[in-house]
Amino acid sequence: MPKRTDIKKILIIGSGPIIISQACEFDYSGAQAVKALKEEGYEVVLINSNPATIMTDPELADSTYIEPITPEMVIKVIEKERPDALLPTLGGQTALNTAIKVAEMGALEKYNVEMLAANIDVIRKAEGREEFKAAMESIGLNVPMSVIVHTLADAMAAAEEIGFPVIVRPSFTLGGTGGGVAYNRHELEELSSSGLDLSMTTEIMLERSLLGWKEYELEVMRDSKDNVVIICSIENVDAMGVHTGDSITVAPAQTLSDREYQNMRDAAIAIIREIGVETGGSNVQFAVNPVDGELMVIEMNPRVSRSSALASKATGFPIAKIAAKLAVGYTLDEIKNDITRETYASFEPTIDYCVVKIPRWTFEKFPEAEDLLSTAMKSVGETMAIGRTFKEAFQKGMRSLETGRFGFGADGKNDLGHLELEDLESGLRRPNSKRVSYIHEGLKRGFSIEKIFALTQIDPWFLRNFQQIVEMEGVIRERGFQGLDAAFLRRTKEYGFSDYQLAFLTGTSNKDVRGLRAKLGVTPVYKLVDTCAAEFESYTPYYYSTYEQENEAVASDKKKVIILGGGPNRIGQGIEFDYCCVHAAFALKEIGVESIMVNSNPETVSTDYDTSDKLYFEPLTLEDVLNIIEQEKPSGVIVQFGGQTPLNLAVALEEAGVPIIGTPPDSIDRAEDRKRFQQFLQKLGLRQPDNDTVYTLEEALVASEKIGYPVVVRPSYVLGGRDMRIAYNDKEIRNFMAIPGIAGGEHPVLVDKFLKDAIEVDVDAICDGTHTVIGGILEHIEEAGIHSGDSSCVLPPHTLSPELVEEIKRASRAMAEELGVIGLMNVQFAVKDQNLYILEVNPRASRTVPFVSKATGVPLAKLATKVMMGMSLEELGFTREVEISHWAVKEAVFPFDRFDNVDTLLGPEMKSTGEVMGIDDDLGLAIAKGQLATGSTLPASGSVFISVRDSDKQSILAPARTLVEMDFKIIATRGTAKFLESHNVPCERVNKISQGRPHILDKLQDNQVAWVVNTSLGRRTTEDSYSIRRAALELHVPYTTTATGAVAVVMAMKAMREKEIGVHPVQYFTREGTKR
Amino acid sequence: MKAVIVLEDGTFFEGRSFTGSGEAVGEIVFNTSMSGYQEILTDPSYTGQIVTMTYPLIGNYGVNKADMESASVHPMAFLVKEYNDYPSNYRSEGTLADFLRQYGVLGVEGFDTRALVRHIRTKGAMKGIVSTEDLDRDSLVARARQWSGLVGQDMVSRVTCREPYGWADNRPVPGTNFATAQSGLNNPHKIVAFDFGLKYNQARILTDKGCQVQVVPASTDAETVLAMNPDGIFLSNGPGDPEGVPGVVATIRSLLGKKPIFGICLGHQLLGLAYGGSTYKLKFGHRGGNQPVKDLTTGRVEITSQNHGFCVDMDSINPEEVELTHINLNDGSVEGMRHKKYQAFSVQYHPEHAPGPHDAMYLFDRFLKML
């Protein structure tokens, strides 16, 4: 069937900010879909609040609404754009849930908008627990025994029938938020209450526990003629009980006989038909009893997903792109397979390698939270590795994680040798982020496969492969460096051992091993990911390395540049850097230079084979990168776009003679190295907070005393403020220096004077070595001391004087030119008492580059790439900064609700996973949009609870007055109330928790509070107010933890009350001539 | 133990035997299925061939009795990237290595199987030799070239049953004229199945669908078959070149129009010859579980299990009498045909799967409807 001509304009809903369980994969799928639909001549309208996405690039869709993804805003977009159709299956759960609400509100009917791919009944049938269960039973498939309940009492009763342990799953939530395993009545009570609360429909399901069963996923596609194909099978290494997003997974399935696999395939096909997904991709999860093969259906997602992104990267089959084409009427046998060019999409990819996905957790960011994996997803990113054996792929994956590891143990970093047997067994028994290390240790101690299986329920097939790696480790150790002959080295490489591991095990250096490999000719070859196991010739240069005979990669003789990506998402390093890498590839294409991408993150647009001319899906370690450089011999390598991961390699790459283009690594060092940086600033006559560089506790104490408390302390060379603290006294310095790896490490510790209550400012600029143009100046809403990645900020600055802004620009230019920046530079300033301080200079792409680009319409990363390729800003026609007359507000999004016992207070260590943008002609509305886009609500009436530290009391006065004027009631604790009353702001007093009941928590629980403003600083007050903040979080009461934040929110509330909130495409703000 | 793989054009790979010493000559082919190695090994159509699996990790789930597609292992040797020695599956009854040893088939791992596959894809299927005994390249090349190859050879006589058998209780039971076929079926269709190298799953499925299946040797003549008065005749899959199989084409021709006929794979090719057509050898064949086939009568696409090196030349057949019903979407080759006058149809692929997708099971129902 050819494409439909009765629809012309299609609305796509994106997935919004990066949160746990919804990351870059939906930018990948969304961007693919937008491109595919445009290619077919449709007019595409997009709504997505996440400015760091490629899909929101203004040149991609016809109209791009960077607006909050709420039903109300989507309806406004529909009213304005009048699309013929809505495609809800590409923006994750967010898009699906929003689409349901929009439909329920009658807007689709009213404006005659057709829902493509999956209509509302389909979505309900797939997502509603009861409907799904009935549907499965009707086609003869089993689902675990379960009971749906809507009240706590019913939950307790149902569990008696099902028996413990019982799984609690809230309906209509993301990534299983609020779900978990209850082993007893007490745990059930806790999980049920929170689950009921989180569910969009106040509904939870209690389910028979399948703990220890094997878990599988199939990616299924269906077209309008009812042709169905399976794109990929995935087997989880971790057994049931660990969320798929937190499981190490492997493609294809490894331990199913064909009969079992085909039965599962039949089931998946029957399911997509029964649920009625009309076109596109779905994901079906199964559990298999390892004892007798009993098959259970766990769930199905009638949309593209994290797994479909993984499956696309694992097979080379672009699921989202094909899904978009199927949605407009094409059938699978009408769509060409890009990779083979001759065959069609109506086939099932077969692969001749093994793919391993490993989640990336950030428990280190939330030390209060227990490192325990369960049915609610906790990981923030993932890495994928491809090898010809499981062992090779797994070890490549381990060294791709950016955790400082170089494989499955054998790198001197496992550090579990001291564990008592009991602790080791407990680490194996309880799923946690370090379980593979426990497995390694167990195998080293000679634990049998049976024993580890009994503790972990990890299939013995995987354990045997792990065991073989550990056995090989022993052999390498035994043979030593002298024993590394060519044949044996090859063998170790087939097992995935890195040079680092070989060096560690033989007591030599990376260089020794690399040298030996070169001498013996043991070098990697590159194989193609081709969807067909070499049955057809393929044309898409998507490669992975392995150690075999034939090399399929052909280096061209064109001018070419390698772009090093950012690896797995983690807090501090996410989609923003991927955006920059993708733009680098686009820019190179524009100037006719071959672009070669290296990255290991399967979620991203950068690892779409369509993005660059060549893609190497490889770990970003020195060894792997050097291998690619030797293969490709590029004229340049870009390290400044992928965040800290490639930057960490810069010096070593340069030492190895690799041509790093753009800002020279020495300039990066000059900005990173405290001593050199100080001299640099002195030379320019710029000021920085008093500071010192120390290595030991004693030095730290002396320095802090000299500088004067409070001080900011942090290790150098980190991103995302890892381990950054504000210390108010000696004790806190002692605590900080006691953190493992801080004192006496490779890198020094930086001690800075903490500028209390200063305003922070971020500047992104671009410099071609002689000229500098400021891309954007962002004024932070939260005061200095809160990590810049966690602050909300406003572009252009909303409170700074024009003189100060000029001074900021002057200083930025001077620094860029003195450093000899070629490309991007980010500066963090602090303004205190009208004085300008330089906090940090980073001559590289920053996290705010995409935000600034979206807000101003200037593609900074592209321009920077061209500058790095030797073009001048003048040639590029970018010589003057863009003045905008609208406001763009960045808001951060936090994962606090995923982690028990974690405070929501912000600090110098970054905690946010993502960001949104609010853009409007009115500052208040821009702030309001930012708030709405984070999922927060702005109360229109009710009571506001205010409890602030003394130093914030003055600043809270004005917003408190405004609140009263807007007829809000103010509730305050004693100190704050006294202050407000003394300034004629009426308020009601409420007890602190320690003052006895009824206290503030009671009010929160009784839904008597519409907004919580609670600020505190330093440990003491923090402990007191922690439970208030935590309660607000858990009860979904909007909360603000800074006074400046509260001022902004009040401004937004006022704007919402006084003005009509409207929607505008980003093109309206940034395209010349289209505005006003 | 070191093992070498040498092709007739001199291409050379070095691997390791995981089954002990041995040597084998045959046509080197590859299969792209990611699961189902046991069914592939026990498929008689692989007689005379050395099979390379494109999926690199083999042995993972062991072997078992239920997945046997015939009584023994047929490829001359089995080549994989990495043999996995620790099977994990509740159905597993033993390791693949022991299984291969039991049937005296050489298993080799530890070499660049993808390079071998790419070589065959570009140069075409060719003769090869695998050895742990003779590691000399020149001598091996010479011996590979000496081998007769498959074209024009009768491979069917090597695998067809010596004595007729009925299919009962999920196993072959010697006997003729349906005497030993499954009993207790309600009003069963009686099917005579020619064994050119029949896969057990064909008999299993027909029986499951309520048929009594009488399997007969390939050389059985038409009169003998008709004397059993079957409701339908089934032509099984089998190895090698259809034009090398003596006598059968004439038998089929004399059965045409007398009883409904359903042919699979070699059975389909032999039907093509019986229609007066010819067959040709494909460059490297179709072997795997992901081949897309379009049923031209419905427009639907099915994902099929395939294993064939020869193909019916549709141009050689009178279109007035026989119509094309199925095509391969990858290369447009013939996948199925139907006689317009007689009750006869056939497909090139394997609706009985094992291994592979179940999409084409409807063909058995199509056959039963004819009866």
Instruction: Please write down the HEC assignment for all residues of B308-325.
Output: EEEEEEHHHCCCCCEEEE
pLDDT of the residue at A335: 95
Inter-chain contact B117–A534, Cβ cutoff 8 Å? yes
Decide: B191 and B214 in contact? Cβ < 8 Å. Answer: yes
Inter-chain contact A550–B54, Cβ cutoff 8 Å? no
Inter-chain contact A261–B35, Cβ cutoff 8 Å? yes
Q: Which of B84, B115, B292 is closest, CB to CB, to A346? A: B292
Choose among A114, A573, A585: nearest CA to A383. Answer: A573
pLDDT of the residue at A174: 54
Task: Kindly report the nearest CA distance between residue B110 and chain A, in angstroms.
Answer: 9
Q: Which of A252, A346, A527 is closest, CB to CB, to B34? A: A252
Residues of B with CB below 8 A from A532's CB? 32, 290
Residues of B with CB below 8 A from A392's CB? none
pLDDT band at A983 (very low <50, low <70, confident <90, very high): very high
Residues of B with CB below 8 A from A388's CB? 56, 81-82, 114
Mean pLDDT is lowest, of A166-170, A314-318, A774-778, A909-913, for A166-170
CA A669 to chain centre: 27
Cα–Cα dist B279/B261, whole Å: 19
| B352 lies within 8 A of chain A by CB | no
- Pseudo-torsion of CA B136, B140, B142, B147, nearest 10°? 170
Q: Which residue has the higher pLDDT, A1074 or A603?
A: A603
Decide: A29 and A117 in contact? Cβ < 8 Å. Answer: no
pLDDT at residue A1022 tops 70? no
Task: Respond yes or no: is residue B14 known to be catalytic.
Answer: no
Which residues lie across from A974 on neighbouring strands? Answer: none
Cα–Cα dist B349/B370, whole Å: 20
Q: Which of A233, A348, A449 is closest, CB to CB, to B303? A: A348
Residues of B with CB below 8 A from A266's CB? 358
Residues of A with CB below 8 A from B303's CB? 229-230, 347-348
- Mutation target to probe the B interface, by most B beta carbons within 10 A, among A256, A259, A469 is A259
Q: Which of A262, A333, A346 is closest, CB to CB, to B357? A: A262
Inter-chain contact B88–A390, Cβ cutoff 8 Å? no
pTM confidence score? 0.96
pLDDT of the residue at A292: 95
Cα–Cα dist A29/A248, whole Å: 22
DSSP state, residue A778? E
Concatenated DSSP letters for A84-132? SEEE-SSSHHHHHHHHHHHHHTTHHHHTT-EEPSS-HHHHHHHHSHHHH
pLDDT of the residue at A53: 97
Task: Kindly report the nearest CA distance between residue B255 and chain A, in angstroms.
Answer: 35
Annotated catalytic residue, options B74, B119, B352, B353: B352
Inter-chain contact B57–A254, Cβ cutoff 8 Å? yes
Number of neighbouring beta carbons within 10 Å of residue A705? 12
pLDDT band at A405 (very low <50, low <70, confident <90, very high): very high
Cα–Cα dist B227/B46, whole Å: 32
Mean pLDDT of A1036-1055: 94
| B54 lies within 8 A of chain A by CB | yes
Residues of A with CB below 8 A from B55's CB? 252, 350-352, 533
pLDDT band at A722 (very low <50, low <70, confident <90, very high): confident
Cα–Cα dist A413/A1007, whole Å: 49
Tens of pLDDT along A559-576? 999 999 999 999 989 999
pLDDT at residue A180 tops 60? yes
Inter-chain contact A257–B61, Cβ cutoff 8 Å? yes
Residues of A with CB below 8 A from B353's CB? 262
Inter-chain contact A535–B329, Cβ cutoff 8 Å? no
| B289 lies within 8 A of chain A by CB | yes
Mean pLDDT of A383-399: 98
Tens of pLDDT along A954-974? 999 999 999 999 999 999 999
Strands ordered across the beta sheet of A1011-1014: A988-989, A969-972, A943-947, A1011-1014, A1039-1040
pLDDT band at A1074 (very low <50, low <70, confident <90, very high): very low
Residues of chain B with pLDDT under 50: none
Residues of B with CB below 8 A from A273's CB? none
Choose among A482, A457, A384, A461: nearest CA to A212. Answer: A457
Nearest C-alpha in B relative to A467: B86
pLDDT band at A280 (very low <50, low <70, confident <90, very high): very high
Inter-chain contact B354–A258, Cβ cutoff 8 Å? yes
- Residue A936: helix, strand or coil by DSSP? coil
Cα–Cα dist A268/B185, whole Å: 31
Decide: A583 and A859 in contact? Cβ < 8 Å. Answer: yes
Q: b/e per residue, A37-64, with b = 16+ CB within 10 A?
A: bbebebbbbbbbbbbbbbbbbbebbbbb
CA A592 to chain centre: 31
Residue located via tokens 């057809």 = A536
pLDDT of the residue at A717: 65
Phi-psi region of B353 (alpha: psi -120 to 50; beta: other; left: phi over 0): left
Kindly give, in sequence order, each residue whose CB lies less than 8 Å from that of residue B177, ignoring residues fewer than 6 positions away: B214, B228
| B292 lies within 8 A of chain A by CB | yes
Residues of B with CB below 8 A from A233's CB? 34
Nearest C-alpha in B relative to A1: B299
Q: Over pLDDT 90: what percentage of chain A?
A: 81
Kindly give, in sequence order, each residue whose CB lies less than 8 Å from that of residue B221, ignoring residues fewer than 6 positions away: B251
Q: Which residue has the higher pLDDT, A341 or A381?
A: A381
Helix and strand tally (H, E) in chain B? 10, 20
Inter-chain contact A258–B329, Cβ cutoff 8 Å? no
Residues of A with CB below 8 A from B80's CB? none
pLDDT band at A160 (very low <50, low <70, confident <90, very high): confident
Task: Kindly report the nearest CA distance between residue B149 and chain A, in angstroms.
Answer: 22
Mean pLDDT is lowest, of A178-192, A398-412, A578-592, B294-308, for A178-192
Q: Which of A266, A388, A532 is closest, CB to CB, to B56? A: A388
Mean pLDDT of A753-762: 92
Residues of A with CB below 8 A from B13's CB? 549
- Mutation target to probe the A interface, by most A beta carbons within 10 A, among B307, B330, B331, B362 is B330
Nearest C-alpha in A relative to B295: A227
pLDDT of the residue at A92: 94
Annotated catalytic residue, options B161, B211, B265, B311: B265
Inter-chain contact B290–A347, Cβ cutoff 8 Å? yes
Task: Respond yes or no: is residue B161 known to be catalytic.
Answer: no
**Pairs of CB atoms within 8 A across A/B:** 171
Task: Respond yes or no: is residue B265 known to be catalytic.
Answer: yes
Q: Which of B81, B90, B356 is closest, CB to CB, to A293? A: B90
- Pseudo-torsion of CA B19, B20, B25, B26, nearest 10°? 0
What's the angle, vertex CA A409, arms to CA A405 and CA A412, rounded to 5?
75
pLDDT of the residue at A1026: 84
Tens of pLDDT along A795-838? 999 999 999 999 999 999 999 999 999 999 999 999 999 999 99
Task: Kindly report the nearest CA distance between residue B328 and chain A, in angstroms.
Answer: 10
Annotated catalytic residue, options B286, B326, B350, B353: B350
Inter-chain contact B57–A390, Cβ cutoff 8 Å? yes
Task: Kindly report the nearest CA distance between residue B269 and chain A, in angstroms.
Answer: 23
Number of neighbouring beta carbons within 10 Å of residue A131? 14
Which residues lie across from A287 on neighbouring strands? Answer: A215, A296
Number of neighbouring beta carbons within 10 Å of residue A359? 24
Amino acid at A46: L
Inter-chain contact B121–A537, Cβ cutoff 8 Å? yes
pLDDT at residue A1076 tops 70? no
Mean pLDDT across chain A, nearest whole number?
93
Beta strands B189-195 and B211-217 are: parallel
Tokens coding A503? 């060096």
Inter-chain contact B60–A254, Cβ cutoff 8 Å? yes
| B228 lies within 8 A of chain A by CB | no
Beta strands A180-182 and A166-170 are: antiparallel
Tokens coding B291? 């081949």
Surface of B (293-332) touching A: CB under 8 A: 294, 299-301, 303, 329-330
pLDDT at residue A130 tops 90? no
Kindly give, in sequence order, each residue whose CB lies less than 8 Å from that of residue A1, ignoring residues fewer than 6 positions away: A224, A225, A329, A330, A331, A334
- ipTM of the assembly? 0.98
